[in-house]
Structure formats: structure tokens, C-alpha cells
A and B are shown apart, each in its own frame.
Chain A
Amino acid sequence: MSLKSKLTFFKPDFENSRTLPYFEGGIKAGFPSPAADFEGTQISLDKVLVKNFEATFYAKADGISMIGAGIDNGDIMVIDRSIEPTDGKIAVCFIDGEFTVKRIKVEKNALCLMPENKAFQPIKIEEDNKLVIWGIVTYVIKSV
């Protein structure tokens, strides 16, 4: 008999697979640890502050033009670049060769970058301004 006819191959059936719960600590007889249900649930600031790891960057605020929005000099800003810039969002902007942080204000036919400190002037975007909305500020980390 040739080898060929001896072998029969069976393919595993992945089509109709059913998922089964997976018990991290294994299944043991006896009294279960009352803490088992709470394992692995430490608080992670990363998880809270970073919704999209790949698109998130940090930057430090240098100045006081955004104190009204809670961004003080020296605060750390969490910036998510995957969020669409819309009216009212606080954005890191790159305008005319410089980074700045402002609140976006969309008006009829116009875009304004608003500071949150009366001592500073809003910037109205004109045609000859070169503006890139670099990312959206989602959280501010400050020491108190």
C-alpha cells in the first residue's frame, strides 16, 4: 500500500467555533478567593487620559493666555490628534510658523482662535494665514 492512501487529513472546524469564558486564575475546587473578582482592576491614569494611544501626544503650556480654560503656565496638555476640530474645542494650532493653544470659534464664513484671558487678542484667520490644527487638547495635568 502506498503511503499516500494511508494518510487522511482532517481540518479543524473554525467556522462554528464557540467562545468559552476564560478563567484567569484557573478553576479550583474549594473556597474561591473573595478578592479574585477584583484582580487586575488597578486604576490606570493612562486609560483615563489616553483614548487613542497612537494619536496622543503631550505638550507643556508656556504662558497664561489660556488660564480661563484651566490651562496654566507649566501645565501638561494631553493632545489627541484623531479628534476632529470643531467649534468650541481647544486646539494646538500651528500658525505662521509657531505653535499656540487657542479655543476654536467657527463663525459665519470665518474662523477665529480665541484666547481665554482678557489680556490677549483673538486671532481671526485670514486668507494669507498659514494655519494647521495640529491636535485637540483633551485633558490638562497640573500640579497643585
Chain B
Amino acid sequence: MYALVDCNNFYASCERVFQPQLIGKPIVILSNNDGCIISRSDEAKTLGISMGAPEFKVRQELQEKNIHVFSSNYALYGDLSNRVMKILEGFTPHVEPYSIDEAFMNFDGVKIPNFHEYGLQMKSRIMKWLSIPVSIGFAETKALSKIANKIARKYPERTKGVHIIDSEEKRVKALKWTKIEDVWGIGFRLTKKMKAKNIHTAYDFTLPHNESFIKKEMGIVGLRLKYELEGKSVLEIDLPKDKKNIATTRSFTGNITTLDEMKERVSTFASVCAEKLRKQKSCCHGVILYLRKDKYKTERSRYNFYKMETLPFASNSSITISNLAVKMLKEVFEEGEIYKKAGVIVTEIIPENQKQFHLFEEENPKHLKLMKVMDEYYKKTGERKIRLGYQDLKKTWKMNQNHLSPKYTTDFTQILAIKCH
């Protein structure tokens, strides 16, 4: 059995932990540099504020509708994300963080008499300890658990935020309910093609007569997705990535204990992420570094580490993304510890042509040419022979953060002050 746990409106929920008066009030979070809206509370969604809207365009509307505006506070979100993941590890040792606010869990070898009950326990613990509401979907495969999660999120009253697909009847019903564009890994372009072929729901996608079409359009990835939706878990599934994130993570067969080795790995993961971004013609704003220590050999209780930072401009340059990832690595890496897994996740993804241009900070135009050469070489030979030497990031960035909340959990000088009167 798998579960997908997804934090509801994660950034908005994080802001509410330390400002409970905002529970039930509309909130939006702005992207780095206060550019555009990247997260909305349910209340803000209801008021018709759209995702991705540039701040200056909706400034007046936000004010008129009394919507609370925050700059993104990744120190806070990263810390709370880490806590959520750690709490989940109390329920099964197999937790695989998928993005800052989502994680897959696997329950093989864990005996659980009632998954709904178990899910409610997970939900209430995260709520009590962190005040973060989550939705949980259980199913036999990852792709189905993602769908179960959507149902739990959509019908909170009926499901109490936990939904399980555990029968053929429920599976078929769920697939028929799921629009093709909401299926994991089906992007905008594929949706158009699918619809032209009369594939409108996830259920249509699994119909036998569409198999050859799916194979033609999506190759083995499409077939794996089909099996997953049919309830057959594809073990080494090459996860079709969300529109929201692209992750490259690996477990190490040996141990990594030195910064130099890890720098090489992290730089490679970052380059692969950048390459994937370029392939789908998009750029990212946020870069997350993920490190996992050897659980059995670390003395401290923490062995999962996340760090997230944002770029001053959206980028898909391997050099820019790798530099930021390595800079974060240097800040958190502990010499002498044994590392088992690492990864780079890029997030806040926007289409390449929607890049905002900055007056002072812009991607080095030389990168563009260089990346093109790298991509062509890789396409031709299938080998990533052109690699990055590690470079120092000397530049420091300043950004607009006019609505930033305190770093309540990561900076001792910014902790909550409580009136005693």
C-alpha cells in the first residue's frame, strides 16, 4: 500500500501557524522578489485571485478584498516541511519526500488493520504538533494514491481528508472522476492530443483500445502510468513529474562522507534538473537541496535535511542552478557524517517565455549558448560528457521582500514574542 500526503495550501498554512488569527482569512504568498502569486489559501481562491498573477496588477484588488499578503519565507516553510516529513516517518520507515509539501509513503511490511483510521491519526498528529492541515490518499500504486489524495482534498466532509482506493469499484469510480489533465504526468500538450483521441478521463486512458496510442505518444512511461492506474505497481517507475516540481534524487550505493564527493553529486543532480527544464522549455525560481544521512549511524535524531532558496531570476541554466545547490550544500554539509541519499528539486516552474526580465540581474547570456551546446552533445551521444567544474558563487543577491514574516523557527532573534499580561 502507498500513501500520498499533501499539505493543503502549504505556504499559507505555514504563515498561519504563528498567526492563528489568519485561520479562515484569505492569504496569498508572493514569489521571490514579490513578483507574482505562488500560493493561495482556499479563501483567496474563492475570492477569485488567480495563481501566478503579478503582484502589481492585483495590488489594488488584494487591498480591497482584505487579503493578507506575504513574501515567501522559505526558511520557515523549509523547516516546517522537514518536521512534517519527520512526523510521517513515525508511521512508516519508508517515506519519500516528493516536494516541499508532498511525500509518498510505503507500508510494505507494516501491519495496519485500518488505513482510514491510520490516516486520520497521521493527519491529527501533524495538525496538533504543527497546525498544518494535510490530505492523504491511500492506494496500491503511487499514481492511484495521487488520485485518492485529490478526492480526499476535494471532499473533506465526506472523507475527513483521508481517502482509500481499496476495491475495484472504488478504483473505477475514481478514474472516471479524474479528468485527463489532472492525471500525474499528463501536461498541457498531451492533454490536447488525448482529448482529440476521445480520452477525457483517467479511466479512458486505461481502456485497452487506447494502449497503442499511449505507447506511441508517451512510450514506456505512458504504459507504466497505465499499469499504475490499473493498480499494478511498477516498481522502478520513472515518476512522471508534477508540473510543480522536477526532482533528481539518488540513493548512494556506497557512502558519501566528504564534501568534494557530495559537491560533484549535487552539481550533477542540479544539471540534470536544469536539462529537464530546458527540455520542457521552462525555468525555475526555487531550488531545493535534499540530503539524507545514514539513519543507523547518525547520533542525532535528524537525518533528513531540506534547504530551499530562490534565484533572483527564473533560470534553466545548469550553471546557475548548480551553483545555488552547491552553495546550500556547503552550508548544511557536515564533514564526518555518512550520507546515503541526496537530491535536487527545482520548483516554482514557469514557461521559458514567461520569464520576467530584471533590470540589474539577469542570466549571463553566455549560459544560453553553452547550454545549447551541452544539450546538443547529449542528444547526439547520449552521454553527459560536458560537465560543470565546480564554481564559486561570489555574488550575493538582494531581493524585494516587503511582506516577509519572521523566521520563527530558524533564527533565534526572530522567534515569536508572547505578551505576558
Contact = CB atoms under 8 A, between A and B. Distances in A.
Interface string B398-419: 0000000000110010011111
How big is chain B's contact interface, by range? 20 to 34
Nearest to B90: A54
B221 interface: no
B158 interface: no
Contact of B418 (A52, A62, A97, A115): A62
A60 B415 contact: yes
A58 B412 contact: yes
B415 A132 contact: no
A27 B67 CA distance: 64
Interface in B17-61: 20-21
A112 interface: no
A82 B419 contact: no
B93 to A, nearest CB: 15
B384 interface: no
Contacts of A61: 417-418, 420
Nearest to B17: A57
A125 interface: no
Contacts of A82: 128-129
B83 interface: yes
A71 B408 contact: no
Contacts of B301: 53
Given A81-B130, A82-B128, A71 B420 contact: yes
B87 interface: yes
B420 A65 contact: yes
Contact of A53 (B21, B86, B415, B421): B86
B299 interface: yes
B86 A77 contact: no
Nearest to B296: A22
B170 interface: no
Interface in B291-343: 299, 301-302
B417 A60 contact: yes
Interface in B104-120: none
Contacts of A71: 420
A62 B129 contact: no
A65 B20 CA distance: 22
A73 B420 contact: yes
Contacts of A120: 421
B416 A99 contact: yes
A59 B415 contact: yes
A62 B420 contact: yes
Interface residues of A, number: 32
Given A53-B301, A57-B409, A58-B412, A100 B418 contact: yes
Interface string A65-92: 1100001010011000110000000001
A101 B299 CA distance: 34
Nearest to B416: A59
A64 interface: yes
A34 to B, nearest CB: 22
Interface in B79-114: 83, 86-87
A60 B418 contact: yes
A25 interface: no
A55 interface: yes
A54 B412 CA distance: 17
Contacts of B412: 58
A57 B416 contact: yes
B129 A54 contact: yes
Given A60-B415, A82-B128, A97 B21 contact: yes
Contacts of A115: 420
Interface in B369-421: 408-409, 412, 415-421
Given A40-B299, A57-B409, A94-B20, A64 B420 contact: yes
A82 B126 CA distance: 10
Contacts of A54: 83, 86-87, 129-130
A53 B303 CA distance: 12
A61 B408 CA distance: 14
Given A54-B129, A82-B128, A63 B20 contact: no
A26 B129 CA distance: 40
A62 B415 contact: no
A62 B419 CA distance: 5
Contacts of A98: 21, 419
A134 interface: yes
Please provide the 7 A-B residue pairs with the shortest distance between their CB atoms, ordered closest to farther. A63-B420, A55-B129, A59-B416, A65-B420, A54-B83, A99-B418, A62-B417
Interface of B: 20-21, 83, 86-87, 128-130, 299, 301-302, 408-409, 412, 415-421
30 contacts: A52-B129, A53-B302, A54-B83, A54-B87, A54-B129, A54-B130, A55-B83, A55-B128, A57-B409, A57-B416, A58-B416, A59-B418, A61-B417, A62-B417, A62-B420, A63-B419, A63-B420, A65-B420, A65-B421, A71-B420, A73-B420, A76-B415, A77-B418, A82-B128, A92-B418, A99-B416, A99-B418, A100-B419, A101-B418, A132-B20
Given A53-B301, A60-B418, A65-B420, 5 more contacts: A53-B86, A55-B129, A60-B416, A65-B421, A100-B421
